[in-house]
Chains A and B, each alone.
Chain A
Amino acid sequence: EAGVVQSPRYKIIEKKQPVAFWCNPISGHNTLYWYLQNLGQGPELLIRYENEEAVDDSQLPKDRFSAERLKGVDSTLKIQPAELGDSAVYLCASSLAGGADTQYFGPGTRLTVL
Chain B
Amino acid sequence: AQKITQTQPGMFVQEKEAVTLDCTYDTSDQSYGLFWYKQPSSGEMIFLIYQGSYDEQNATEGRYSLNFQKARKSANLVISASQLGDSAMYFCAMRVMNRDDKIIFGKGTRLHILP
Tell me whether A and B are bound partners.
yes
Across the interface, do A42 and B103 meet the contact criterion of CB distance under 8 Å?
A: no
Q: Mark A85-96, 1 if CB is under 8 A from B, else 0.
A: 000010101000
**How many of chain B's residues have a CB under 8 angstroms from any CB in A?**
25
- Give A107 to B100 CA distance when docked, in angstroms: 27
Q: A42-B93, A42-B108, A43-B105 are in contact. Are A103 and B43 (CB under 8 A)?
A: no
Contacts of A93 in B (CB 8 A): 45
B10 CB, nearest partner CB in chain A, Å: 11
Contacts of A100 in B (CB 8 A): 33, 50, 52, 95, 97
Q: A43-B105, A44-B105, A45-B103 are in contact. Are A107 and B44 (CB under 8 A)?
A: yes
Interface size class of A (residues with CB under 8 A): 20 to 34
- Give A52 to B105 CA distance when docked, in angstroms: 25
CB within 8 Å of A: which B48-98 residues: 50, 52, 91, 93, 95, 97
Across the interface, do A99 and B97 meet the contact criterion of CB distance under 8 Å?
A: yes
B residues sitting closer than 8 Å to A (CB atoms) are 4, 33, 35, 37, 42-47, 50, 52, 91, 93, 95, 97, 100-108
Listed A/B pairs (17) with beta-carbon separation below 8 Å: A42-B4, A42-B91, A42-B104, A43-B105, A48-B103, A56-B101, A91-B45, A93-B45, A99-B95, A99-B101, A100-B52, A100-B95, A102-B50, A103-B35, A104-B47, A105-B45, A107-B42
